[in-house]
Chains A and B, each alone.
Chain A
Amino acid sequence: MSATRSPKVSERVAPKVSDPAPQKKKKRDDDDGPSFGELFNAWIEAHRSSLLDSLRRLGKQPIGSFFTCLVMAIALSLPMGLSLLLSNVERLGGSWQRAAQISLYLQLDASPSEGEGLVRQIKEMGGVAEAEYISRDEALNEFQKQSGLGEALKELPENPLPGVVLVTPLEVDKAALEALRTRLAELPKVQQAQLDLVWVERLAAILKLGDRFVFGLTVLLVAALLLVIGNTIRLHIENRRTEIEVIKLVGGTDSYVRRPFLYMGALYGLGAGVLSWGVLAFGLDWLNEAVVRLAGLYGSNFALAGVPVSDGLSLLLGAVLLGYIGAWIAVARHLRELAPR
């Protein structure tokens, strides 16, 4: 199936009779058949020819090839883009540990030094990532600022708020968090240990829904991609029907016939992967401007992360594989029809 150009005349000159090495090689070729090395080189050459032939054919129709890649790229970008946005939403929601913080309300008679001692004790406990003490005065100041009841609170005879220790767990597992909360509640000077899992559960449910949506969309778009690549390869097969029939008549195996189409599918996939990476990088960058402005209004310095290199490489590999599989399915379907007439 390769369209290797014939070597130049200078390359096609037969070895000189006086050259002993080629003579020896020629004798071995005639008597013992090709060596393993020669067969391996021929195999490599056959693959190289198929790859170059496929590239040449794609290059002959640059606009058609580009649009096929673009359609595939858009189909790839949708689930990948949604997945990247979900990752960013996870970051936006803060760390899971922060969302699952345990608040320890201390007894009113607990002094600041007892609170600091409690923090040291908690930090040494297993399953704790961080612990922070907020004294009664600090709690009151913060409440005055946030509630807008500053003047009213000043009228109170004494500070009604207890000291608080905020404990950030190492992992977010409902059972482990519950066990940690129970241990913390038993510590001295702790009046109440409160764990608010509702927010964690809601966020997890939303993200799970998002993941499912992305998965469903991915399945649908992968099927669409296989159809696009299959149809494209089918057209290539139709255009080369005579060539395929001749190849089969002179002893070409199915794998020989299939090879250039598989390379073509993989090349379409590679092109689509590169385009998709570009579309996603550009799209996220474009969105990021608006996101940064919005986040700034809430006093946050949050910004969208771009396409991580590992994700980009996975995208490329996946696209190449999809192109290859799509081409394989298309050729397998049509190979039987390609029997010489």
Chain B
Amino acid sequence: MIRFEQVGKRYPNGHVGLHELSFRVRRGEFLFVTGHSGAGKSTLLRLLLAMERPTTGKLLLAGQDLGQISTAQIPFLRRQIGVVFQNHQLLFDRTVFNNVALPLQILGLSKTEVVKRVDSALERVALSDKAELYPGDLSTGQQQRVGIARAIVHRPALLLADEPTGNLDPRLAAEIMGVFEDINRLGTSVLIASHDLALIARMRHRMLTLQRGRLIGDGEAGV
């Protein structure tokens, strides 16, 4: 699914985000990327979303070389990916339904199909009764679940999450992680960047540890 081959990222100001990173992620795998602030977690996610390009090495996602991908192809690549942000990135002038429907409207699906899939995604995150509300009417945990529903509604092959539990209390964080595991069980690869080691340890999935842009650990969390 994902292949990093000696991938490096150096910014124009000389800062090195990633140092010759190499690892693979299988289809349907669940893994965490952890490390302190500035370790390179966000850079790694930005490379996977084609928001930035690697300066060295080769990064393959579902067979596509992200170092060579054209600007016009990027939207189509992103349609295979679901993204969950720490700050949710919801549109507050749209209802929950319309927030979740956004990726499907972009795909140009019919109204019937949009309704069917949004209902299904909201049901999966237990927010079926909130469809007509606006994000501002919801709690932080509920807003995060709307973000997750939007990330999975178009059935992506890969789900990326950047500190998805950063603003949540431990009970809500565990609940959100449970949702990610449910999604993973349906065959979606899940990659979560987080520095919440206690939470990661409880989940016993593969964990990549980054430090100053270098991969210093690759193994099962909690072992």
Within the complex, which residue of B98, B105, B106, B115 is in contact with A12, where a contact is CB–CB below 8 Å?
Answer: B115
Contact A7 B116 (CB under 8 A): no
Question: Is the CB of B150 closer than 8 A to any CB of chain A?
Answer: yes
- The proximity string for B residues 135-167 relative to A, scoring 1 for CB distances below 8 Å and 0 otherwise, is 000000000000000100010000000000000
Contact A248 B110 (CB under 8 A): no
Q: Which of A43, A49, A339 has the most CB of B within 10 A?
A: A339
A contact residues around B116 at 8 Å (CB)? 14
Q: What interface size band does chain B fall in?
A: 20 to 34
Q: Which of A11, A43, A248 has the most CB of B within 10 A?
A: A248
Question: Is the CB of B16 closer than 8 A to any CB of chain A?
Answer: no
A contact residues around B108 at 8 Å (CB)? 39, 42-43, 46
Question: Is the CB of B192 closer than 8 A to any CB of chain A?
Answer: no
Q: Which DSSP category, helix, strand, loop or mixed, fits chain A's interface?
A: helix
- The proximity string for A residues 207-247 relative to B, scoring 1 for CB distances below 8 Å and 0 otherwise, is 00000000000000000000000000000000000110111
Contact B113 A29 (CB under 8 A): yes
Q: What interface size band does chain A fall in?
A: 35 or more
Question: Is the CB of B169 closer than 8 A to any CB of chain A?
Answer: no
- Give the complex CA separation of A46 and B106 in angstroms: 8
Question: Is the CB of B109 closer than 8 A to any CB of chain A?
Answer: yes
Question: Is the CB of A287 closer than 8 A to any CB of chain B?
Answer: no
Number of residue pairs spanning A and B whose beta carbons lie under 8 angstroms apart: 86
Contact A246 B75 (CB under 8 A): no
Q: In the complex, which residues 1-28 of chain A have their Cβ closer than 8 Å to any Cβ of chain B?
A: 2-7, 11-12, 14
- The proximity string for A residues 46-68 relative to B, scoring 1 for CB distances below 8 Å and 0 otherwise, is 10010000000000000000000
Known: A12-B115, A250-B78. A6 touches B109 (CB 8 A): no
Q: Which DSSP category, helix, strand, loop or mixed, fits chain B's interface?
A: helix
Contact A3 B106 (CB under 8 A): no
B contact residues around A49 at 8 Å (CB)? 105
Within the complex, which residue of A42, A242, A250, A340 is in contact with B109, where a contact is CB–CB below 8 Å?
Answer: A42
Question: Is the CB of A289 closer than 8 A to any CB of chain B?
Answer: no
Q: In the complex, which residues 72-127 of chain B have their Cβ closer than 8 Å to any Cβ of chain A?
A: 72, 75-76, 78-79, 83, 89, 91, 93-95, 97-98, 101-103, 105-111, 113, 115-116, 118-119
Contact A46 B103 (CB under 8 A): no
Contact A251 B97 (CB under 8 A): no
Looking across the interface, which residue of chain A has its beta carbon closest to that of B81? A251
B contact residues around A6 at 8 Å (CB)? 95, 97-98, 101, 115, 118, 131-132
- Give the complex CA separation of A181 and B106 in angstroms: 72
Looking across the interface, which residue of chain B has its beta carbon closest to that of A252? B106
A332 to chain B, nearest CB (A): 14
- Give the complex CA separation of A24 and B163 in angstroms: 42
- Give the complex CA separation of A341 and B42 in angstroms: 11
- Give the complex CA separation of A202 and B89 in angstroms: 69
Question: Is the CB of B51 closer than 8 A to any CB of chain A?
Answer: yes
Question: Is the CB of B208 closer than 8 A to any CB of chain A?
Answer: no
- Give the complex CA separation of A167 and B48 in angstroms: 85
A contact residues around B49 at 8 Å (CB)? 249, 340
A274 to chain B, nearest CB (A): 28
Known: A6-B131, A6-B132. A250 touches B97 (CB 8 A): no
- Give the complex CA separation of A249 and B150 in angstroms: 12
Within the complex, which residue of A4, A14, A250, A253 is in contact with B103, where a contact is CB–CB below 8 Å?
Answer: A250
Contact B91 A340 (CB under 8 A): no
- Give the complex CA separation of A3 and B94 in angstroms: 7
Q: In the complex, which residues 251-285 of chain A have their Cβ closer than 8 Å to any Cβ of chain B?
A: 251-254, 256
3 tightest Cβ-Cβ pairs between the two chains A and B: A6-B97, A251-B79, A251-B78
Q: Which residues of A contact B (CB under 8 A)?
A: 2-7, 11-12, 14, 29, 34, 38-39, 41-43, 45-46, 49, 242-243, 245-254, 256, 339-341
Given A39-B108, A249-B83, A252-B106, 9 additional A-B pairs, CB 8 A: A2-B105, A3-B94, A34-B109, A45-B111, A250-B103, A251-B75, A251-B79, A251-B107, A341-B51
